[in-house]
Amino acid sequence: MRIVLVGPPGAGKGTQAAFLAKNLDIPHISTGDLFRANISQGTALGVEAKGYMDRGELVPDEVTIGMAQDRMKQDDAANGFLLDGFPRNVAQAEALDAVLKKDDMQLDAVLDLEVPEDEVVKRIAGRRICRNDSAHVFHVEYNAPKTEGVCDVCGGELYQRADDSEETVRTRLEVYHTQTEPIIDYYRAQNLVVTISALGKVDEVTARAMDALKK
Active site residue 170: no
Sign of CA dihedral 76, 86, 97, 190: positive
Spatial separation of the C-alpha atoms in residues 172 and 55, rounded to whole Å: 22
Quick count: other Cβ atoms within 10 Å of Cβ 146?
A: 8
Active site residue 188: no
Residue (67 or 130) nearer to Zn ion, CB:
130
Dihedral pair phi/psi, residue 188, rounded to 5°: -65, -35
Quick count: other Cβ atoms within 10 Å of Cβ 93?
A: 23
> Any contact of residue 179 with Zn ion (CB under 5 A)?
no
Q: Residue 99: which residues within 8 A CB-CB, separation 6 or more?
A: 65, 68, 69, 72
Active site residue 55: no
Rounded to a whole number of angstroms, the minimum distance from the CB of residue 59 to Zn ion is 33
> Any contact of residue 150 with Zn ion (CB under 5 A)?
no
161, 172 Cβ separation under 8 angstroms: no
The catalytic residue among 13, 71, 122, 128 is 13
Rounded to a whole number of angstroms, the minimum distance from the CB of residue 153 to Zn ion is 4
179, 89 Cβ separation under 8 angstroms: yes
Q: Which stretch binds Zn ion (CB under 5 A): 41-49, 65-73, 102-110, 123-131?
A: 123-131
> Any contact of residue 154 with Zn ion (CB under 5 A)?
yes
> Any contact of residue 159 with Zn ion (CB under 5 A)?
no
Rounded to a whole number of angstroms, the minimum distance from the CB of residue 157 to Zn ion is 9
The catalytic residue among 2, 71, 123, 127 is 127
The catalytic residue among 50, 88, 170, 208 is 88
For the annotated catalytic residues, the residue numbers are: 13, 88, 127, 161, 172
Chain contacts with Zn ion (rule: CB under 5 A): 130, 132-133, 136, 151, 153-154, 156
